[in-house]
Amino acid sequence: MPETVLLLTLIVLPFAGAVAAGLMPTHARNAAGALAGAVALFCLLLVWVAYPTVSAGDVLRAEWAWMPALGLNFSLRMDGFAWLFAGLVMGIGALVVLYARYYMAEDDPVPRFFAFLLAFMGAMTGVVISGNLVQLAFFWELTSLFSFLLIGYWHHTTAAREGARMALTVTATGGLALFAGVLVLGHIVGTYELDAVLAAGDRIREHPLYLLALILILLGALTKSAQFPFQFWLPNAMAAPTPVSAYLHSATLVKAGVFLLARLWPAMAGTDAWFLLVGGAGLVTMLLGAYVAIFQNDLKGLLAYSTISHLGLITLLLGLDSQLALVAAVFHILNHAAFKASLFMAAGIIDHETGTRDIRRLSGLNRSMPFTGRLALVAAAAMAGVPLLNGFISKEMFFAEALSAEGPLGLVKILPFAAMLGSAFSVAYSLRFIHGAFFGPDPVDLPRTPHEPATWMRFPVEILVLICLGVGVLPAATVGPFLDLAVRSVLGNEVPYYSLSVWHGFNFPLLMSFIALAGGVALYLLLQGWLRSETEGEPLLRRFEGKRIFERAMVFLSWRLARRLEGIASTRRLQPQLRLIVAVAFLAGGAAVWVRGLGPGNLPPAPVDPVLALVWAVGGTCALGAAMLAKFHRLAALILVGGAGLAVCVTFVWFSAPDLALTQLTVEVVTTVLLLLGLRWLPKRVEVPGDGGPEVLTRARRLRDLGLAVSAGGGLAALSYAVMTRTPPELLARDFLARAYTEGGGTNVVNVTLVDFRAFDTLGEIFVVAAVALATYALLRRFRPAADSVEPPVQQQDQLSADLAEPGTERPVADWLLVPFTLTRLIFPVMALVAAFLLLRGHDLPGGGFSAGMVVAIAVILQYMIGGTAWTEDRLAWLRPRVWIGAGLLLASGTGLAALGFGRPFLTSYFGYINLPVIGEMPTASALIFDIGVFALVVGATLLMLVALAHQSVRGRRATSRALASLAKAGRARILAGDD
Amino acid sequence: MELVVSLAIGVLAGSGVWLLLRPRTFQVTIGLALLSYAVNLFIFSTGGLRTGADAILGRGQVGTLAEFTDPVPQALVLTAIVIGFATTALLLVVLLAARGLTGTDHVDGRERDR
């Protein structure tokens, strides 16, 4: 198999498996398990296939261009170290899948579990075999994300939710720091490729930014590996299902941190800062974790703190700046994965078969589950570092390194003692695990009667314990080649001599081992009294709970600080916000002028035409009048806005923009009708003359707003004057003008632009209009109109009282507005014809879908206004605005898609002329069909909005008639005008 | 001529901004309408003011800016007019609904605290 395919499969297959598992039905436990197992085993096989290449000292590589402009490639790279880790991820993964199949309850949504697990496996593989650091940081964050999902798998429990959130917050924040660190590192080296970074060790260490990069990367690594002071998330993550803990919290996720440290060891280690930060964190974590572990009453809690401690040990070894220590660290990573995964699984079996994990309740399980007991005993002994087991050998190497370490500050003097102390603690908690659970009298009052688990559930534990034994007895023959391979790929060819064997003769490390063993046993016996008491937690350190500090910090950050900032920087009131926007816009424009200056333009201004000046004297007065009257005289203000709009319309005509004028005019009509319809629900506001004027504060506020308005208006006037007196840039205009006919097939360039050159833009726009229309419709369906501000007009009152007198007939009492009524009926077909005319000629002459649609909408709304809702809808039942909207959108998008059918890009148009009888020669670009779509949409959307609003008055009238009826009963003829 | 149009833009924008900052919903709606006139005119004017220029090409003609008006700002403004109408409608309906729900036509849904 080519190596590119192999590497890619290693990453893609788990994710593909995750998707497949996620799509399975909720209770497909066996199918999902089989799938996950098959994926893990197949990937393991692939890793094995890579062995010959890797063992020959070659590196498997694969590379795809990702962001070439930034020098980033998606590159995969597997050397011996990555190979070892990939094997660990897949191997333990396969065992965990088998275990989980039996561990998970029938009513859990198991496929989801396996989907997360597989996705995590893929992310972890990505971290391990990434060939560039940015990509590594990406997969790193993915592992945080999927571990969040896995820890929170039983999301109905608070502990799971909190644990998951805490793990995500800590590790993902660390991941961001790592990303920043990686960027700094990339800046130092000039590339993010791992090969180059590893080769540039000297340059990195001498660079002034080294310390920054180191701290940021360590933040990532130490949070992930739960090192002091970030260790608190790991015990809380024990709320996860036990297979997750066995996988994530022993073999993979937490190992990612130490993986990274070992990976970057050649590039970054070897400085005092590295020694102090990495070694210091490792030392403190090792002692702290081991000490706290002794006092845990929960089996998994004990294992969690023990994991923290062992990771501390590995970190400490990595911090020692010695090649032998690196060998020991890698070796211990493997050993710890083997015994800790098996112990987690054993703890899970105990939990599964007895219903509790509390050491104080458990006892004497050795009799009911002897086989599991033996397995756990061996694994725990390996954890304690008992000879002939794998933990012993790496611990011996650790002792040897502790004795020979060199470093600043005389810190190394205490290392041997610290190592022994940590080891003794480790013996003590291992003893507690085994003695507490498996020995002693028979347990009483357990939730379930304990018995051996299913054979296949125990199988993974058996395999792992076998590995512990095999490595412990014959290290060189079993793990030797693999360890050598991994270490060689990290250290290059400078691998120091080390001996993997059980017996090195009587020496200091052996002596230390025995002291630690004896000390641990003694400690355990001494602590019996404390451990049997009901005291929760450990002596001395109980108050320093990382979790509580973390929670306080979170509350401060996400709640108090946020609230305070919101109080300072935000308001719920609209006016200050708008004021701010206007002020900022003004200042931004002003700043640009300030910086670049605003000289006179190069074009002489055209002479003022008195007619247009007169038009704008009127238009401007209208605008000012509207501004003054909008509060107390809404109708007048509305009419004045119409006046200003007409002035705009005339301006468009004046300066050769007929299409704009047409659209502006029609839209003006519709807008006015719309606002008129809304007026009735606004509260009556009457100006009280001679009130002495508003108070001082209000007056000051108005003055400030006036200042803003004048500045904004003046600024915009100056800006537009400056723009207009300069030669306008040609930009697209030349192109559009040249190709409108020759390639777009229309002489109306604006229309061709809309339906052809920029048709995608128009398509987007009509979708927006459709969305807005539907939104208004939806809003109005649940509308609770305010009480009418005005009494119904006399006509309506008469009609209503007639309807009330003879319910059910609804006979018109009088022909109100007979002349306009007849006229609008007559004018309707004429307007429809005008609309058709505008639509069809749009491509060549002013017109088009927008204005044609508006004309139809105006025609219909006229009928509504004069004829009334009921009369119009009786006759125009075919008018279903939503259908028009849908048809318009379909037609427009369909025309665009049809181009794809002819192998052209989306919205390409075709054109030609056809001769129709009577009508004559007609342009038939496919753009016309698009324009018809626009037309239908505009008709539908406009009518939907207007009709929805108009219907409110029908509703309102029903409410009014009810009110009238009740009033009539009370003998009162008038309706109270409702105001607030 | 440019002076007239830019003054017109200024007056429209000034009136619009003034109304935008008022507390009543109807004032804000009207203000938005006036402001959109101003902005549309402004965008339109970026193509240069041309009286008597042709807007329509002859059959088969390749147009140039020397004889014809700039179609790009016009096309932009044309869509802006329609969108402006749609958003005004939406604003109006939201304001009416707010008035129905809160009983006031103040933009904040409640009268200013005195």
User: How high is the ipTM of this complex?
Assistant: 0.95
- Residue A238 is encoded by which pair of tokens? 């024990």
Query: Are A641 and B9 a contacting pair at CB < 8 A?
Result: no
Predicted pLDDT of residue A956: 61
Q: Which residue carries 């695990």 as its tokens?
A: A433
- The nearest CA of chain A is from the CA of B50 a distance in Å of 5
Q: A–B: how many Cβ contacts below 8 A?
A: 338
Q: CA gyration radius for chain B?
A: 19
Q: Report the residue of chain B nearest A577, measured CA to CA.
A: B21
Query: Are B71 and A773 a contacting pair at CB < 8 A?
Result: no
**Terminus-to-terminus CA distance in chain A, angstroms?**
80
Predicted pLDDT of residue A861: 86
Least confident of A142-156, A159-173, A543-557: A543-557
Q: Where are the alpha helices (DSSP H) in A533-680?
A: 546-555, 562-569, 574-596, 610-629, 634-654, 658-679
Q: Is pLDDT at B13 greater than 90 in this prediction?
A: yes
Burial class (CB in 10 A: 0-12, 13-18, 19+), A801: middle
Residue B9 lies in a domain: yes
Predicted pLDDT of residue B97: 84
Choose among A87, A120, A116, A92: nearest CA to A104.
A116
Residue B79 lies in a domain: yes
The answer to whether B103 contacts chain A (CB < 8 Å) is yes
Confidence tier at A856 by pLDDT (50, 70, 90):
very high
Chain B residues lying within 8 Å of A706, measured CB to CB: 18
| Amino acid in position A211 | L
Confidence tier at A539 by pLDDT (50, 70, 90):
low
Q: How far apart are CA A269 and CA A318, in angstroms?
A: 8
DSSP string, A323-368: HHHHHHHHHHHHHHHHHHHHHHHHHHHHHHHHS--BTTT---HHHH
Per-residue pLDDT tens digits for A908-917: 777 766 676 6
State which H helix or E strand residue A62 sits in: strand A60-67
State which H helix or E strand residue A150 sits in: helix A133-151
Chain B residues lying within 8 Å of A612, measured CB to CB: 1, 4
Confidence tier at A212 by pLDDT (50, 70, 90):
very high
Of B16, B37, B60, which has the smallest distance from its Cβ to A645's Cβ?
B37
Predicted pLDDT of residue A973: 40
Pairing of strands A913-916, A920-923: antiparallel
Predicted pLDDT of residue A558: 80
Confidence tier at A477 by pLDDT (50, 70, 90):
confident
In whole numbers, what is the pLDDT of chain A averaged over residues? 85
- The nearest CA of chain B is from the CA of A970 a distance in Å of 26
Confidence tier at A91 by pLDDT (50, 70, 90):
very high
- The nearest CA of chain A is from the CA of B111 a distance in Å of 11
Q: Is pLDDT at A638 greater than 80 in this prediction?
A: yes
Confidence tier at A30 by pLDDT (50, 70, 90):
confident
Whole-number Cα distances in Å, A319 to A276, A326, A779 = 8, 9, 64
**What is the mean pLDDT of the segment spanning A864-870?**
80
- Residue A92 is encoded by which pair of tokens? 């333990």
Per-residue pLDDT tens digits for A60-84: 888 888 888 777 888 999 988 999 9
Residues 21 through 40 of chain B touching chain A, CB cutoff 8 Å: 21-31, 33-34, 37-38, 40
Q: Is pLDDT at A975 greater than 50 in this prediction?
A: no
CA B12 to chain centre: 9
Least confident of A679-683, A727-731, A759-763, A859-863: A727-731
Least confident of A99-103, A358-362, A648-652: A358-362
Whole-number Cα distances in Å, A592 to A589, A597, A598, A720, B10 = 5, 8, 9, 14, 19
Q: How far apart are CA A54 and CA A79, in angstroms?
A: 6
**What is the mean pLDDT of the segment spanning A661-670?**
92
Domain positions in chain A: 571-684+697-729, 748-980
Of B21, B41, B51, which has the smallest distance from its Cβ to A579's Cβ?
B21
Whole-number Cα distances in Å, A26 to A109, A153, A398 = 5, 14, 47
- Count of domains forming chain B: 1
β-strand partners of A61: A77
β-strand partners of B106: B24
Range of the domain at B87: 2-50+69-102
Q: Report the residue of chain A nearest B87, measured CA to CA.
A: A772
Say whether pTM exceeds 0.80.
Answer: no
Query: Are A717 and B10 a contacting pair at CB < 8 A?
Result: yes
Per-residue pLDDT tens digits for A794-841: 777 777 777 777 766 666 666 777 888 889 889 999 999 999 999 988
Q: Check if the beta carbon of residue B8 is closer than 8 Å to that of residue A617.
A: no
Q: Which of A724, A751, A841 to mutate to test the interface with B (most CBs of B within 10 A)?
A: A724
Predicted pLDDT of residue A980: 33
Angle at A548 between CA A545 and CA A549, to 5 degrees: 90
**What is the mean pLDDT of the segment spanning A45-70?**
87
Chain B residues lying within 8 Å of A627, measured CB to CB: 15-16, 18-19, 30-31, 34
- Residue A546 is encoded by which pair of tokens? 């990382």
Predicted pLDDT of residue A907: 75
Q: How far apart are CA A257 and CA A248, in angstroms?
A: 12
**What is the mean pLDDT of the segment spanning A239-248?**
90
- The nearest CA of chain B is from the CA of A705 a distance in Å of 6
Q: Looking at residue B81, which CATH number applies to its domain?
A: 1.10.287
**What is the mean pLDDT of the segment spanning A860-868?**
84
**What is the mean pLDDT of the segment spanning B62-74?**
83
**What is the mean pLDDT of the segment spanning A257-276?**
90
Whole-number Cα distances in Å, A369 to A104, A300, A326, A373, A773 = 20, 19, 39, 6, 70
Chain A residues lying within 8 Å of B92, measured CB to CB: 674-675, 678, 949
Query: Are B20 and A582 a contacting pair at CB < 8 A?
Result: yes
Residue B108 lies in a domain: no
pLDDT, greater one: A294 or A788: A294
Per-residue pLDDT tens digits for A97-120: 999 988 888 888 889 999 999 999
The set of residues, in sequence order, having a beta carbon less than 8 Å from that of A819 and lying 6+ positions away, is: none
Per-residue pLDDT tens digits for A948-968: 887 776 666 666 666 656 555
Q: Report the residue of chain A nearest B103, measured CA to CA.
A: A980
Burial class (CB in 10 A: 0-12, 13-18, 19+), A13: buried
